[in-house]
């Protein structure tokens, strides 16, 4: 397998790969945990927990050779339809999303990208990727919260106001994210 494929695909998983071989629509991997046949799972994120529960049910009843999905380290991929074309973002690179006058401003490692939309829709899309609202204008990636002072959350150097209404849920989300 070519090095760029190994770097981009296999390093997303918690395994040490010894060797690989490309097969039809999959990758045959010799790893520190045995030999695996890895392929992309064509199931939506919302259906994945039910599928895993079904597989675990079968494994509990002695079916040990069932393919089990393995979650990778990727974030959620989203597409922004900008006036000059499409921009693909990984949720791990988004610091926070701000809304002003029905315009969403995605503050990211690569800069700020602006599109028309609703913060509610973005919140639904990113709810499983450690994002929480600190007030009605900001949806924050908890990974980048470096400090909380009274009613301020410092996110990637920017000070964002925490509203009284969202404060309990936001602080709870931060504590859960940090493992407390």
Q: Detail the DSSP E strand segments found in 25-149.
A: 26-31, 34-38, 77-82, 85-90, 94-100, 103-108, 111-116, 131-135, 138-141, 145-149
Q: Give residue-wise pLDDT tens across range 101-156.
A: 999 999 999 999 999 999 999 999 898 888 999 999 999 999 999 999 989 999 99
Per-residue pLDDT tens digits for 28-73: 778 777 787 777 667 666 777 787 788 788 878 887 776 666 655 5
End-to-end Cα separation, the chain, in angstroms: 41
Find residue 61's DSSP bridge partners.
none
Residues 6+ apart with CB under 8 A from 103: 114, 115, 116, 117
């Amino acid at each position: 397998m070519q090095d760029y494929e190994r770097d981009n695909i296999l390093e997303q998983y918690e395994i040490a790969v010894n060797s690989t071989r490309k097969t039809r629509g999959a990758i045959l991997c010799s790893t520190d945990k045995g030999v695996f046949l890895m392929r992309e799972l064509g199931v939506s994120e919302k259906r994945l927990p039910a599928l895993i529960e079904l597989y675990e049910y079968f494994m509990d009843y002695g079916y040990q050779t069932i393919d089990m999905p393995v979650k990778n380290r990727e974030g959620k991929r989203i597409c922004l339809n900008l006036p000059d074309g499409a921009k693909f973002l990984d949720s791990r690179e988004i610091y926070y999303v701000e809304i002003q006058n029905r315009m969403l401003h995605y503050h990211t490692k690569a800069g700020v990208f602006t599109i028309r939309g609703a913060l509610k829709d973005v919140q639904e899309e990113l709810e499983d990727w450690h994002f929480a609202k600190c007030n009605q204008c900001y949806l924050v990636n908890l990974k980048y919260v470096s400090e909380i002072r009274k009613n301020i959350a410092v996110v990637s150097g920017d000070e964002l106001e925490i509203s009284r209404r969202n404060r309990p849920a936001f602080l709870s989300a931060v504590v859960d994210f940090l493992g407390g």
